[in-house]
Amino acid sequence: MATNLYDVVIIGAGPVGLMLSTCLSRWGYKIKHIDNRPEPTVTGRADGIQPRSLDLLRNMGLKRKIMEYEPAKVYEVAFWDPSAKGIHRTGTWASCPKFIDARHPFTTLLHQGLIERVFIEDVEKNGTQIQRPWTITGFKNDGVDPTYPVEVNLAHVDGTASETVRAKYLFSGEGARSFVREQLKIGIKYKDPIAHVWGVMDGVVRTTFPDIKMKCTIHSDAGSIMVIPRESNMVRLYIQIASSTDKDWNPRKSATAEEVQQRAKDILKPYTISWDRVEWFSVYPIGQGIAERYTLDERVFMGGDACHTHSPKAGQGMNTAFLDAVNLAWKIHHVESGFAPRSLLSTYESERKLIAENLLDFDARYAKLFSARIPSAGEVAGAAEASDLEENEFIKTFKASCEFTSGYGVAYNPNTINWSPSHAAQHPLFLTSEKGTALRTGRTLPNATVTRAVDANVVHLEQEIPLNGSYRVYVFGGRPATTSRALSDLATHMATPTSFFATFAHKDKALDRYHEKHTPHTSFLSLLTIFNSPRSAIEIDDVLPPVFATYRDHVYADDVWDARVPEAKAAAHAKMGLDEEKGGVVVVRPDGYVGAVVRLEEGSGTCEALNKYFGAVTGRRMGEERASL
Amino acid sequence: MATNLYDVVIIGAGPVGLMLSTCLSRWGYKIKHIDNRPEPTVTGRADGIQPRSLDLLRNMGLKRKIMEYEPAKVYEVAFWDPSAKGIHRTGTWASCPKFIDARHPFTTLLHQGLIERVFIEDVEKNGTQIQRPWTITGFKNDGVDPTYPVEVNLAHVDGTASETVRAKYLFSGEGARSFVREQLKIGIKYKDPIAHVWGVMDGVVRTTFPDIKMKCTIHSDAGSIMVIPRESNMVRLYIQIASSTDKDWNPRKSATAEEVQQRAKDILKPYTISWDRVEWFSVYPIGQGIAERYTLDERVFMGGDACHTHSPKAGQGMNTAFLDAVNLAWKIHHVESGFAPRSLLSTYESERKLIAENLLDFDARYAKLFSARIPSAGEVAGAAEASDLEENEFIKTFKASCEFTSGYGVAYNPNTINWSPSHAAQHPLFLTSEKGTALRTGRTLPNATVTRAVDANVVHLEQEIPLNGSYRVYVFGGRPATTSRALSDLATHMATPTSFFATFAHKDKALDRYHEKHTPHTSFLSLLTIFNSPRSAIEIDDVLPPVFATYRDHVYADDVWDARVPEAKAAAHAKMGLDEEKGGVVVVRPDGYVGAVVRLEEGSGTCEALNKYFGAVTGRRMGEERASL
């Protein structure tokens, strides 16, 4: 490969660029990654990692490194409203309430620079360097080289050096001011015409305000403020300086640190607050917008703030950026590995733009409520006591949105990779959320705790395959005595050379894969088997056909009680809504979302249905269809 | 301080020396720490961290660093016995069964060098360097300098340099061959006259043996073997080469790696095994012995293998070493801080030697059974089926010993710091395990999950105060409405200058301690309050007297359901066996063992009882006794 040829050129080393770079560097791609800042974020910026994002970071082996920085954890949000004496708490609400089945029911607060550091260390370990401070000066998809169709011009920010490279893909993670987006003349649609100017201040305070270690939204007669605890005993305050609904609206309106502090003191009365030190302070206007397209040619892509901007209130920016990047990363990987046709790339925009639209809808409702002045308690006749939870509009919106803000509300629509009754693959054994399974395609697999057979370790089933770019095929085996024939039939049909399992088998058969736990047969998928049986009763070589037994580190006993399904004998089966006797097969996309669910049955049907699903996903004929050609 | 004066000179940088060094370096002591090896352990040696030790490492903030090395976790032990075909599994047993209430019910396996590295990094961060390869050549407690009574002669192992220093204490963590012990002419008592020669091999294997990722004890007609999974896909095999009960016993008997591998192959039949690589191999004789004294003068101390040696089978060596060191560390700290009289140091030997004796008793029984050949299944008429758990003597001993091996069985006898009805402090409000509490002094505080009031974080109560050398005073407040007067009375009496709380108050009152979470009043103790109340109902400034409210980061709601006390309204209160309405005060020693339990009552009694307990502990008159002088 010539030195100026890259698989992907990534512009911007914020959350979206780093996540993409991390995935693709791990999977062996050659990346050119630049950022126009001389160094990573030093202070401030985004800082909220939502529960689902933390699952993702754990799946990448990065959670422990994040936690080493001792981030603040937000379990509850407190709501404060005006009262006769100043402000009073109207109630608190879990930030990730119990109705959401989350492993980590809290928001993790840590400044963006520390998070960037974790990713940068990882990409460097995998051979990618962030080139700083460099910027993009031009690009074109000229197709001069059909393998590397995109030419990209890069330059040092001081203009002393420049470089022209060719790439298979160009990605803009440049943030709200995206050169790439401007060049492509992609417009921004404003969902909400109201713009705001925000002041944000990170620092160490001393205060009599009792909820300073909670996330708080405070409305007072002196204005509104949001309190967010931070690592290292810090607290972040968001204060709205101006709104386009103000009479004297000026988007360039600013405020000094002292003014913002005075404002905070006024809002927090009767409590006192003072600052030991201020770590970061900034005032910036926020418009709420969404890019009309995320790509024009499926070669030049954008993600993160380049595609969607919104208020920082719900702590969604970085999380949406992470998920944009992971969604694109595995799709590029599958196309470039020959697993999937180029058309897979079209699902990046359709899936991620929908989520951004949902986010902006939510944000608009939330921000509007936040800035609306609510009548003070004193003004309301018969005001409820402070200890009651007053269900005003703001709190209602907040509650309704918890699933969305936690990250578990993401629901991709049916398409090639998210099976539905209107999918190209038709077979009577597909199960739907109306019939035979509780799972919904396009949503994350629920968590489930099981016991690994080989070492009796109690593990998180949904975390057992790391983010390695492979599909995860969960074979829920029900009762071994019931399904033994169905499993051996499935194994037999999977062994035929035209099956979904055999089609992408490793070509270098001679290579020793004895110690390869996750992908011994093919890097296209990883296989897991879960039995409704106590661990000690599972003799892998007795109950499993040899092809399944090869994945012996991924055989589990569904024998751990779960408070969410207290009556179930096999909690993991029950949480998936699968028959505890007969099981079923759940296909999970490389990014953790359910792709398809198939009944486990004797005969060829189960494998046929999987062949059809993966046939559609990969754009190939599989199984009988191919064999009969 | 002259450059050759040290608080403590530590010989040996294995687990015991490093644990002592880590604690004392963190607490600001000046340490001279030498080791006669040129570098930390590279391969092999001890590797098992028991559940209670992992709690301790977490309490020190070191667990995450240990876990980053991805250690193996042993949840179950499999027992294999001879059968007609070779060997068969007779059963499995949890290594830390459910009847033990452990946060981490598994053994963590990681080679000693990686563990040492975690400690070395910590001591270096706190200003102590390990001087290598240096050795001790002489020492005397000559009292020439009453503050630094011990002279220690140190030399480079190649004799090119030497150094004489003076210290308050000398500690030998030299291992089984202790120069210090020999010089002091302290004998070794052999509990069990039987000696053994062991072969031990770490490596990466490929095998058809199904339990290679479990801890296994295997008896076959070809001999006995122990299998222990390791980090990095390795496995450790312990094979007994010879025993002093053999006819041709020779303690110098050895074996080559090939011989040991052949032996393993023979024992594991009908399964096959081969080695991809061998990381470490060693053959060594093990005698079972215990030092008659741990110190003669309470200036020169020993701990770890210098005091007790035994077979490696139960994975106890490093764990006992850790606990020796922590036990000594806080006692030196309290004596040197002026919190306690020198006599406190005598409890080091009395407490730790008892544990070593228990360990050796257990080990002797276990090792004897392990090396005894058990009749093969074929020899036994009507042999039970392999799937049944055959309760032979070995398995019975193992089960009975789980509490001990997990580390939770440690039970120190009554003494000055472990209150009992015969304690010097007498007061009617002391509670005993027979009356008013489930707790036993001298045992670890049970774990309990609670909600922190200030930030709604769900936390592990027993971990909330880090290992900082302070006593932990847990005030279980029961129902706030019931105990409000009792709490304010306690606060009032604690505020008197002669109370246990005020006696060691920080002297530099001018120092700003606003951000000091754990020890704002005194470094002698940390205070925690736990209410039987939902978190949202706890308004700290309303329910707590100001002195308690100062510890506002340590106020908790006992509102988390616990499967072990399913009927309890307040699970933490219930686990302590305290009245859920009226609460009680639990004093926990700096190393996590319960010191005393006192009823929480209106009036002066609760504070009086605490004054008496701490009066005995510190050798001072406190409260009314002092005030009336």
Q: Is A236 exposed, middle or buried (0-12, 13-18, 19+ CB in 10 A)?
A: buried
Residues of B in contact with A212 (CB under 8 A): 454
Find which of B207, B232, B536, B556 to mutate to test the A interface (most A CBs within 10 Å of its CB).
Answer: B536
Place of tokens 């030196």: B332
Would you call A393 helix, strand, or coil by DSSP? helix
Contact of A59 with A129, CB cutoff 8 Å: no
Cα-Cα-Cα-Cα dihedral sign, residues B416, B420, B424, B426: positive
Give the angle A245-A248-A252 at the CA atoms, nearest 5°. 90
Q: Please state, in angstroms and as integers, the Cα–Cα distance from residue B436 to each residue in B407, B441, B580, following that order.
A: 26, 13, 11
Domain A5-61+110-188+289-363 has CATH 2.30.22.10: no
Nearest to A457 among B73, B92, B454 (CB): B73
Q: Which CATH superfamily is domain B189-287+367-406 in?
A: D-Amino Acid Oxidase, subunit A, domain 2 (3.30.9.10)
Q: Which amino acid is at A38?
A: P
Q: Please state, in angstroms and as integers, the Cα–Cα distance from residue B1 to each residue in A239, B27, B167, following that order.
A: 52, 17, 11
As a whole number of Å, the end-to-end CA separation of chain B is 37
Contact of A473 with A526, CB cutoff 8 Å: yes
- DSSP-assigned states of every residue in A105-135: -SEEE--HHHHHHHHHHHHHHTT--EETTEE
* Residue A495 Cα, gap to closest chain B Cα (Å): 22
For residue B336, pLDDT over 90 is answered with yes
* Residue B357 Cα, gap to closest chain A Cα (Å): 32
Supply the Cα-derived Rg of chain B in whole angstroms.
26
Contact of B607 with B493, CB cutoff 8 Å: yes
Q: Hey, what are B100's tokens? A: 């033990």
Q: Hey, what are B287's tokens? A: 């005698």
Backbone angles phi, psi at A247, to 5 degrees: -65, -40
pLDDT in tens, B245-260: 888 888 778 889 999 9
Cβ-based neighbours of B313, under 8 Å, separated by 6 or more: B226, B238, B363, B366, B367, B370
Domain A449-627: CATH architecture, name and number where available: 3-Layer(aba) Sandwich (3.40)
B539, closest residue in chain A (CA to CA)? A210
CB contact, 8 Å: A258 with chain B? no
pLDDT in tens, B258-268: 999 999 999 99
Q: Please state, in angstroms and as integers, the Cα–Cα distance from residue B41 to each residue in A622, B330, B393, following that order.
A: 54, 27, 36
Contact of A237 with A201, CB cutoff 8 Å: yes
Cβ-based neighbours of A363, under 8 Å, separated by 6 or more: A192, A288, A310, A311, A313, A314, A316
Specify the DSSP class assigned to residue A357.
Answer: H
Q: Hey, what are B380's tokens? A: 């036994």
What mean pLDDT is predicted for residues B68-96? Answer: 92
pLDDT in tens, B431-477: 998 899 999 999 999 999 999 999 999 999 999 999 999 999 999 99
Would you call A54 helix, strand, or coil by DSSP? helix
Write out residues 57-116 of B within 8 Å (CB-CB) of A. Answer: 64, 67-68, 72-76, 91-92, 94, 106
B216, closest residue in chain A (CA to CA)? A455
Check residue B369 and give its pLDDT.
Answer: 66
Q: Please state, in angstroms and as integers, the Cα–Cα distance from residue B384 to each residue in A139, A339, B89, B206, B399, following that order.
A: 76, 52, 11, 30, 20
For residue B25, pLDDT over 80 is answered with yes
What mean pLDDT is predicted for residues B96-121? Answer: 94
Residue A292 Ramachandran class (φ > 0 left, ψ -120 to 50 alpha, else beta):
alpha
Backbone angles phi, psi at B281, to 5 degrees: -145, 135
Q: Hey, what are A120's tokens? A: 């940068």
* Residue B212 Cα, gap to closest chain A Cα (Å): 8
Q: Which amino acid is at A32?
A: K
Residues of A in contact with B212 (CB under 8 A): 454
Task: For the domain covering A189-287+367-405, report its CATH number.
Answer: 3.30.9.10
Check residue B2 and give its pLDDT.
Answer: 62
What CATH class has B5-71+111-187+289-363?
Answer: alpha beta
Q: Give the Cα separation of A485 and B216 in Å (integer).
A: 32
Q: Give the Cα separation of B399 and B93 in Å (integer).
A: 8
* Residue B69 Cα, gap to closest chain A Cα (Å): 11
CA A449 to chain centre: 21
Nearest to B514 among A206, A212, A515 (CB): A206
As a whole number of Å, the end-to-end CA separation of chain A is 37
CB contact, 8 Å: A541 with chain B? yes
B92, closest residue in chain A (CA to CA)? A536
Check residue A592 and give its pLDDT.
Answer: 97
Check residue A371 and give its pLDDT.
Answer: 60
pLDDT category of residue A629 using cuts at 50, 70 and 90: low
Specify the DSSP class assigned to residue B185.
Answer: T
HSE of B590 in the Cβ direction (CA atoms, 13 Å)? 25
Residues of A in contact with B514 (CB under 8 A): 206
Contact of B135 with B154, CB cutoff 8 Å: yes
- DSSP-assigned states of every residue in B589-620: -TTSBEEEEE---SSSHHHHHHHHHHHHHHTS
Check residue B389 and give its pLDDT.
Answer: 47
CB contact, 8 Å: B390 with chain A? no
- DSSP-assigned states of every residue in A187-213: -EEEEEEEEEEEEEEEEEEEE--TTTT
In terms of Cα–Cα distance, which of B211, B202, B21, B203 is closest to B125? Answer: B21
In terms of Cα–Cα distance, which of B581, B617, B621, B618 is closest to B599? Answer: B581
Check residue B251 and give its pLDDT.
Answer: 77
pLDDT in tens, A183-235: 999 999 987 777 788 899 999 999 999 999 999 999 998 988 999 999 999 99
For residue B49, pLDDT over 80 is answered with yes
- DSSP-assigned states of every residue in B7-50: EEEEE--SHHHHHHHHHHHHTT--EEEE-SSSSS--S-S--EE-
Check residue B627 and give its pLDDT.
Answer: 65
Q: Give the Cα separation of A183 and A152 in Å (integer).
A: 12
More confident residue, B224 or A301: A301
Query: How does the average pLDDT of chain A come out, rounded?
Result: 91
Q: Give the Cα separation of B393 and B402 in Å (integer).
A: 15
In this predicted complex, what is the ipTM? 0.92
Write out residues 456-475 of B within 8 Å (CB-CB) of A. Answer: 456-458
Contact of B371 with B224, CB cutoff 8 Å: yes
Q: Hey, what are B520's tokens? A: 């704002």
Check residue A369 and give its pLDDT.
Answer: 66
Q: Give the Cα separation of B183 and B396 in Å (integer).
A: 41
Contact of A566 with A574, CB cutoff 8 Å: no
A230, closest residue in chain B (CA to CA)? B455
In this complex, how many residue pairs, one in chain A and one in chain B, have their CB atoms less than 8 Å apart?
74
Q: Which amino acid is at A448?
A: A
CA A80 to chain centre: 30
Cα-Cα-Cα-Cα dihedral sign, residues A498, A499, A504, A505: negative
3-state secondary structure A290-334: EECCCECCCCEEECHHHCEECCCCCCCHHHHHHHHHHHHHHHHHH
For residue B205, pLDDT over 50 is answered with yes
Q: Hey, what are A469's tokens? A: 């770019």
Q: Which amino acid is at A534?
A: P
Q: Give the Cα separation of B399 and B94 in Å (integer).
A: 9
B537, closest residue in chain A (CA to CA)? A387
CB contact, 8 Å: A185 with chain B? no
For residue A379, pLDDT over 60 is answered with no
pLDDT category of residue A627 using cuts at 50, 70 and 90: low
Find which of A89, A107, A457 to mutate to test the B interface (most B CBs within 10 Å of its CB).
Answer: A457
Check residue B93 and give its pLDDT.
Answer: 87
Helices (H) and strands (E) in chain A, counts: 17, 25
Q: Give the Cα separation of A495 and A456 in Å (integer).
A: 29
pLDDT category of residue A288 using cuts at 50, 70 and 90: confident
For residue B46, pLDDT over 90 is answered with no
Q: Is B358 exposed, middle or buried (0-12, 13-18, 19+ CB in 10 A)?
A: middle
Beta bridge partners of B541: none
Is the pTM for the entire model greater than 0.80?
A: yes
pLDDT in tens, B524-542: 999 999 999 999 999 999 9
Domain boundaries, chain B: 5-71+111-187+289-363, 189-287+367-406, 449-627
Place of tokens 């003004």: A379
Cα-Cα-Cα-Cα dihedral sign, residues B199, B205, B210, B213: positive
Nearest to B455 among A64, A204, A229 (CB): A229
What mean pLDDT is predicted for residues B127-142? Answer: 97
CB contact under 8 A, B75 and A210: no
* Residue B158 Cα, gap to closest chain A Cα (Å): 40
Contact of A13 with A120, CB cutoff 8 Å: yes
Check residue B401 and give its pLDDT.
Answer: 78
